[in-house]
């Protein structure tokens, strides 16, 4: 039987986010997973905090992805913003939503119908070395990472999206899924799984995903440190759960073992900023709050919290 985490340990994790997490992550956790006897957060509070990371053009920046501190919006940063919007089911009447959609529509490449994951303007702020715009080959034309995920957000708010944009991106992504035998990058596969989880996804797109993604899920390397099975399959009822269940149980066990004494989880990705102590501390705190919030949600939704 899989190991579970105690209620006391989860309560310590909640306290860590409340004390040390970013206001955005505190508001998000209060909104989507309020504690018993705690005040339930509101969608408006999350939207207010998201607005602090949104630029005048509607895209997201300013370290919403903590390893990417540029003040100029990037597609990957904007995808992070929409992850929050989807989680709280933000209404299409929200100005934050409208601005984000407008940025996506304005910045899609209408020749290839993808969004470049990052561009040269990332250098306008400090960032981790893996966000080097000079080495974009690993993104394989941006079709899966991050365009497949962003397509899902267009369907979330499709009444705000011109038909030619949603049709163009859909054709690009579906053709790529059908023509790729194995999507071997965990990041690319995560983006595809997020597309599949779109509530308003057309049946023909969902069918294509369900026909072609299982062999990629089955081929995932359990020892790949980049594998995030609980992120790919957010609940036991989600598509792909039966395939990824062993990976999910192993990931849950690692999470339970690695919770720190302060109640948080501290991934250590901020080490790229070691020569700038203040930046390293800020990035580390942001990632710790984010990772702890994610651990709470994942362990709870996959029923790894002791009853």
> So what's the pLDDT on residue 38?
54
Domain membership of residue 148 (yes or no) is yes
Domain membership of residue 2 (yes or no) is no
Domain membership of residue 288 (yes or no) is yes
What is the average pLDDT score of the chain? 95
**Section 22-32 average pLDDT:** 96
Q: What confidence tens digit (pLDDT) does each residue in 256-298 have?
A: 999 999 999 999 999 999 999 999 999 999 999 999 999 999 9
Domain housing 56 = 7-301
Please state, as a whole number, how many other Cβ atoms lie within 10 Å of the Cβ of residue 233: 25
Q: What confidence tens digit (pLDDT) does each residue in 182-197 have?
A: 999 999 999 999 999 9
Q: How confident is the model at residue 33 (pLDDT cuts 50, 70, 90)?
A: confident
| Total of domains in the chain | 1
> So what's the pLDDT on residue 137?
72
Domain membership of residue 229 (yes or no) is yes
CATH of the domain at 256: 1.50.10
Domain membership of residue 284 (yes or no) is yes
Q: What confidence tens digit (pLDDT) does each residue in 145-180 have?
A: 999 999 999 999 999 999 999 999 999 999 999 999
**Section 12-23 average pLDDT:** 97
Share of the chain above pLDDT 90, in %: 93
Domain membership of residue 177 (yes or no) is yes
Domain membership of residue 307 (yes or no) is no
Domain membership of residue 1 (yes or no) is no
């Amino acid at each position: 039987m899989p190991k579970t985490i105690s209620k006391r340990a989860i309560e310590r994790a909640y306290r860590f986010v409340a004390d040390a997490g970013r206001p955005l992550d505190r508001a998000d956790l209060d909104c989507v997973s309020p504690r018993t006897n705690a005040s339930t957060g509101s969608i408006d509070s999350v939207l207010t905090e998201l607005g602090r990371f949104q630029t005048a053009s509607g895209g997201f920046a300013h370290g919403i992805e903590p390893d990417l501190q540029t003040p100029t919006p990037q597609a990957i940063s904007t995808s992070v913003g929409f992850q929050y919007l989807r989680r709280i089911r933000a209404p299409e009447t929200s100005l934050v939503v409208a601005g984000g959609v407008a940025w996506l529509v304005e910045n899609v490449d209408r020749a290839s119908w993808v969004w470049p994951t990052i561009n040269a303007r990332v250098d306008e702020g400090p960032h981790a070395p893996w966000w080097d715009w000079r080495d974009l080959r690993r993104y394989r034309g941006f079709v899966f990472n991050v365009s497949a995920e962003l397509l899902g957000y267009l369907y979330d708010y499709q009444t705000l999206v011109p038909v030619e944009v949603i049709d163009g991106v859909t054709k690009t992504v579906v053709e790529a899924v059908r023509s790729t035998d194995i999507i071997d990058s965990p990041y690319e596969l995560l983006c595809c799984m997020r597309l599949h989880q779109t509530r308003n996804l057309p049946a023909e797109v969902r069918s294509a995903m369900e026909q072609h993604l299982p062999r990629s899920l089955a081929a995932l390397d359990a020892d790949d440190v980049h594998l995030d099975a609980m992120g790919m399959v957010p609940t036991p009822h989600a598509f792909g759960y039966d395939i990824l269940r062993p990976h999910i149980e192993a990931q849950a066990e690692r999470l339970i073992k690695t919770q720190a004494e302060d109640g948080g989880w501290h991934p250590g990705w901020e080490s790229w900023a070691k020569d700038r102590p203040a930046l390293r501390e800020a990035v580390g705190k942001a990632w710790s709050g984010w990772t702890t919030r994610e651990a709470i949600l994942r362990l709870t939704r996959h029923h790894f919290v002791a009853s």
